[in-house]
Amino acid sequence: MSSLPQSHIRNFCIIAHIDHGKSTLADRLLERTGAVDEREMRNQLLDDMDLERERGITIKARAVAIHCEIEGEQFELNLIDTPGHVDFQYEVSRSLACCEGALLLVDAFQGVEAQTVANAYAAMEHDLAVIPVINKIDLTHARPDEVAQEMEQSLAVTAEDVVRVSAKAGIGVDDLIQSIAKNVPPPAGDPQAPLQAMVFDSHYDEFRGAITYVRIKNGTVEKGSKIRFLEMGTSHEVLELGQFTPGRTPRDKLIAGQVGYLICNIKSLDTVHIGDTISTVNDPAEPLAGYQAPKRMVYCGLYPSDGQDFSELRDALNRLQINDPSFEFEPETSEALGFGFRCGFLGLLHMEIVQQRLEQESDVDLVQTAPNVTYEITTKNGDELVIRRPQEVPDSGDIDEFRQPIVRVNFILPTEYIGPVMKLCQDRRGVQQNTEYLSPTRAMLTYDLPLAEVIYDLHDKLKSATRGYGTMDYELIGYFPANLVRVDILVNGNRVDALSVICDRGDSERRGRAIVKKLKGEIDRHMFEVAVQAAIGARVIARETKPALRKNVTAKCYGGDITRKRKLWAKQREGKKRMKSIGQVDIPQKAFMAVLDTGDKK
């Protein structure tokens, strides 16, 4: 297909809160424009990962080029379907940098949610043309007029400009396509200028190597061109280029404003860097600004359950990182678990997704330690330390200042649940910043909370407190001093490094008691008594004892003198004492996650 003029190219993404219908709307756009044959059509077509279809969520942003006729003229619509969960905000930010417009989707019943507000502000920061859309207007309990007023109140859009659609039934989709052509500006850029292409994503194909997703900002790239990755400093020949329609469709060239892919027979996983700029070897252009590096919020240890699988796990992590650059890993060792990797993630859901992808795609059986957030410490010597695991915390006498990450959390909820949510935040040492009423029945609360209190169970507790109607979104605002300590867990007198936790000093005794009580239930009984203790430094703050398996050694004694039984009991005591000194306590995998489940906070 010959290239269209830039004035007929539109680049846009779909952004929304989770489960507001982004992927379904993408399906209707593909169907109405004839991009996919009816026999090839299926629900959530762009969610092609097994895990995405299994869980019903979008994990990876997907680009697709749609060629269609609008009011008698040919247009090229480059659509990017983005995830909705806060953990995958990095995917959304990369997509926004490649577009000139965004469809801001809101559910006609649920209304404006926390992630809706965050996405709207992110789109405005990128100076995108925002098209507000209300979805699911055909539901019997839809309230489109009220939701339009909520959008006008909180998102700075005019209620009359809101496009009303039903992605499932196809209502209003044709009007939306015309609105995209009318309101999204064509891309800027000079096809005759030196090549500047932004790498916004990539994935690894075992037959073709790294497939690089690019947005051409300036210039033109053709098959056979010699290109250079400016940040990595490597040069390659373009063997194939094209667009996703939605499958890979080869083209002869890509011009400024288009979105597509490049295949250069890149076999090294370290060559492609998300945010890098591609230019020509002979006439290189200036590098583009790239993306802000993702902030890993949560760290945990991943270990192969069989120590011999260490190299397989390393290869699997390398392969996954080129598809998902937002997590990082480095080798580490544990006395309890052997050799493994310390991995950083954007959030708990991101961590769970990566673990499932490793187990499903690479067939690696994993043991995972309890996640923790990153802290900062200033020592008495003036050294600045970044703490990614509790074992790295120095002795309390060497610490001058202990700082924890604080996030600003926006809760959007029905007004009748404001009280329970305020109590929930106060119990987690939250500081209220603002209360804003979006409508007579919905409000937005803003709190500053420690990240460690947010990532574990705050979302679940919020859903319980608001009967499922409350939503939340958070962003890191910085590291602030706090009275924190490291709580060590000792099993049979030996410190298990993978079970240590960092918590507030005022909460340490309750947390320690809850952990040892939980561990007592998770650890199997042994032939000897097992003591489970929580300690701060040398001071034990909680203890539980797992009783030994018992055998009645005097069952065979019928009558006779009592001294005979006493000898058997003494012999049994000596055996148990010897076993306790040389025996190993087997700690199951679920015990490492038990440190999270510390009971309900009252």
Alpha-carbon span 501 to 344, nearest angstrom: 16
**Is residue 533 within a helix (H) or strand (E), and if so which, with residue range?**
strand 530-536
Residue type present at position 449: L
Straight-line distance from the first to the last Cα atom of the chain, in angstroms, rounded to the nearest whole number: 64
Question: What DSSP assignment string belongs to 31-67?
Answer: HHTTSS-GGG--TTTT--SHHHHHHTS--S-EEEEEE
Beta strand 530-536 pairing with 501-504: unpaired
Burial code (b: 16+ CB inside 10 Å, e: under 16) for 314-352 equals bebbebbbbbbbbbebeebebebbeebbbbbbbbbbbbe
Alpha-carbon span 200 to 202, nearest angstrom: 7
Beta strand 431-439 pairing with 384-387: unpaired
The DSSP secondary-structure symbol of 286 reads P
Give the pLDDT score at 553: 62
Alpha-carbon span 93 to 119, nearest angstrom: 9
Tokens in use for 328? 């990082």
The DSSP secondary-structure symbol of 111 reads B
Where does 223-340 have alpha helices with state H? 310-323
What's 485-593's CATH class? alpha beta
Tokens in use for 518? 């939980």
Tokens in use for 378? 């200033």
Tokens in use for 76? 């090229």
Give the pLDDT score at 160: 82
Do 371 and 377 touch, CB atoms closer than 8 A? no
Give the pLDDT score at 1: 47
Tokens in use for 16? 């929304």
CATH node for 376-481: 3.30.70.240
One of 3.40.47.10, 3.40.50.2300, 2.40.30.10, 2.30.110.10 is the CATH number of 196-280, namely: 2.40.30.10
Nearest by Cα to 132 from 113, 148, 154: 148
Long-range contacts of 313-319 (CB under 8 A, 24+ apart): 313/340, 313/341, 313/358, 313/362, 313/364, 313/366, 314/341, 315/362, 316/358, 316/361, 316/362, 316/364, 317/341, 317/343, 317/358, 318/269, 319/204, 319/269, 319/362
Burial code (b: 16+ CB inside 10 Å, e: under 16) for 526-556 equals bebbbbbbbbbeeeebbebebeeeeeeeeee
Residue type present at position 354: V
Q: What are phi and psi of 402, to 5 degrees?
A: -115, 120
One of 3.30.70.870, 3.40.50.11740, 3.90.1150.10, 3.20.20.80 is the CATH number of 298-373, namely: 3.30.70.870
pLDDT average per 10 residues of sequence, the chain (602 residues): 72 82 80 64 51 56 78 82 68 78 87 80 84 87 86 81 84 86 85 84 78 86 86 84 83 86 78 80 78 74 79 83 77 77 81 82 77 84 83 81 88 86 87 83 86 78 80 82 86 78 82 83 74 85 80 68 76 64 56 55 43
- Residues 6+ positions from 185 with CB-CB distance below 8 Å: 100, 101, 129
**Half-sphere exposure of 429 toward its Cβ, with a 13 Å CA cutoff?**
17
Residue type present at position 285: A
Task: Quote the pTM value.
Answer: 0.71
Give the pLDDT score at 582: 46
Q: How far is CA 67 from CA 64, 212, 352, in A?
A: 10, 22, 37
Give the domain ranges of the chain: 6-183, 196-280, 298-373, 376-481, 485-593
Beta strand 375-379 pairing with 384-387: antiparallel
CATH node for 6-183: 3.40.50.300
The DSSP secondary-structure symbol of 301 reads E
Domains 298-373 and 485-593 share a fold: yes
The alpha carbon dihedral of 110, 114, 118, 121 has a sign of positive
